[in-house]
Structure 1
């Protein structure tokens, strides 16, 4: 097959070239976009990370495409309806780093609960005063886990180690897991009302877009903390800014924001063939506000990014491609 690998770091390039000589492989550092897709009209397999655009306008420019092997668990950057209609197989990496992302949840939470960023910045200036740096214990607090799948359950296990109580919401309940890990299920409204800390572990897409908005944030305990390592669109950024600036929430730890792609290269707004809608521009302004708030910690979508996890991502992706070529595709999304 002719394979194009997008968003490739140097170390990934060496790994992906192992597909040769059985396949023709081209590795590119840039993401796949609507503007660049026409140059790859003869490609049969595309592998990308989440910053590439795999919507219908892009995919229509790839008439020979047979396989999309996304190097991610999430697939909301892919138009699955178009893939089903056109017969394009889609594979993902379903379980590369459950504990990796869950650990980042607690990195964000501990940084907020113990005011680590402020303390480190202060001492770096030679200021060892303790004023305003008093934190709070995790032991005895209630963690609300929205989405109790693989990552959510790893977060639950870690929380129990800190002595936290845990309540979870999921559309599919698993009484055995609840008994084994020592948590209980509740409806979303009840979870939000009970939790001192809420952590989100949901897929992106229309079904979860703005699941956490003004109404949900108003149900949370005054002084609660929100952690999001899932997808930026799950949270209404404008509503979150209001909750944080009015003191309704004490803080937020975010590894994702709604318009992180634009934030990475804002000049792209003026080069792009597509004008951002008013709604997206408002979301971009909200993201800027979140970046500047002192009670918010934002990391650049790195919850997945450890040496061990990214190695698993690459190996699973290469296995997915070889399995498809052998006529036995695995880790199918569509």
Structure 2
């Protein structure tokens, strides 16, 4: 029986993974602590590691995994920007869950848009105190407004479908545009500058890479419409948060809905209600009446959690059974022939 160490786990992780185990194939240990250089020695005696978005799998952690003869890390999420792929290549196979539920994330992004626009969160608090006044709750029709979507992968495509259901005009940017999809759905791919200048609402659905880090920066904000609404349910590093704060202070940004944050690792997924937030930028964001922050809950639906557990366990089965690794990340090895396509594994 293979032993797997799960890091940064919560009760719901245990519940959904244990529901899919038959008790004979894997022995799982659930650690609440995050994987990092300080905690990596906990992997001793295990055959595999399962990690999450705020675990740190850098070169030093990879060295420890190699020392302990661990050849697989399964990310129970789609993103893997917290993994040093250069250090992992040819040493540790990194697997992921590429499509746990694009509906979950896109629907949460839409919830942020509707809540910010119609201020339902503020209305709820008012009526709880018998305040039924409407002053300050004015919104705008989404119908015939323009939404800009950055990234047209699985989540971005679902988001486009949802926005079209509200009668919005859609523009999109993707470095690898799918013109057939655009033709079927009736939207246009444009360059980033055009997207920024014409969008009333901007929703981010792209991975965090070297190229997309601080994609939304001071220059990008300058090109946007006054009063633009920015929604980010992807990765915090896509936005230069200092520039975002300045845009909010100056009125350039009318609304911001954030399910992710650049430095979320110290805060998100934890109950810190009895503590002082020492991050000055996060504390400042929480003071704006036109900012709505949720704690990386876009993925958090029953369907998504079940799919994450199922796919993660299938990834481990494929690795330990010697089969092809369909969900192995791309290490950007720059080899002329992709070994994953020919042999099923990158190395």
**Aligned match for 1:332, one of 323, 328, 333:** 328
Deviation at 1:20, TM superposition (A): 4.0
- Stretches of structure 2 that go unaligned for 5 or more consecutive residues are 273-277, 331-347
Counterpart CA distance in 2 for 1:310 and 1:206 is 29
Partner of 1:34, secondary structure, is coil
* Contact 2:149–2:170 (8 Å) recurs in 1: yes
Deviation at 1:122, TM superposition (A): 1.4
Residue 315 (structure 2) pairs with residue 316 (structure 1) = no
Task: Output the TM-score relative to the length of structure 1.
Answer: 0.91
Q: Counterpart of 1:257? A: 261
What do the CA deviations read for 1:44-89 (whole angstroms, capped 9, x no partner)?
Answer: 210011121111122222221110110000011111111104x211
**Aligned match for 1:121, one of 118, 121, 125:** 125
Q: Counterpart of 2:77? A: 72
- Stretches of structure 1 that go unaligned for 5 or more consecutive residues are 268-280
Counterpart CA distance in 2 for 1:234 and 1:153 is 19
Counterpart CA distance in 1 for 2:206 and 2:261 is 14
* Contact 2:7–2:52 (8 Å) recurs in 1: yes
Residue 32 (structure 2) pairs with residue 29 (structure 1) = yes
**Aligned match for 2:142, one of 138, 143, 148:** 138
Task: Output the TM-score relative to the length of structure 2.
Answer: 0.87
What do the CA deviations read for 1:163-183 (whole angstroms, capped 9, x no partner)?
Answer: 000000000011110011111
Q: Counterpart of 2:338? A: none
Counterpart CA distance in 1 for 2:13 and 2:22 is 12
Q: Counterpart of 1:5? A: 6
Q: Counterpart of 1:53? A: 56
Partner of 1:60, secondary structure, is helix
Counterpart CA distance in 2 for 1:287 and 1:253 is 13
Counterpart CA distance in 1 for 2:289 and 2:40 is 40
Deviation at 1:125, TM superposition (A): 1.6
Counterpart CA distance in 1 for 2:126 and 2:8 is 37
Q: Counterpart of 2:340? A: none
What do the CA deviations read for 1:130-175 (whole angstroms, capped 9, x no partner)?
Answer: 1111111110100000111111111000011000000000000111
* Contact 1:324–1:330 (8 Å) recurs in 2: no
Change (3 A) 1:22 1:309: closer
Counterpart CA distance in 2 for 1:16 and 1:135 is 42
* Contact 1:213–1:240 (8 Å) recurs in 2: yes
* Contact 1:222–1:250 (8 Å) recurs in 2: yes
Counterpart CA distance in 2 for 1:96 and 1:153 is 15
Change (3 A) 1:213 1:197: same
Q: Counterpart of 1:273? A: none
* Contact 1:19–1:318 (8 Å) recurs in 2: no
Q: Counterpart of 1:203? A: 207
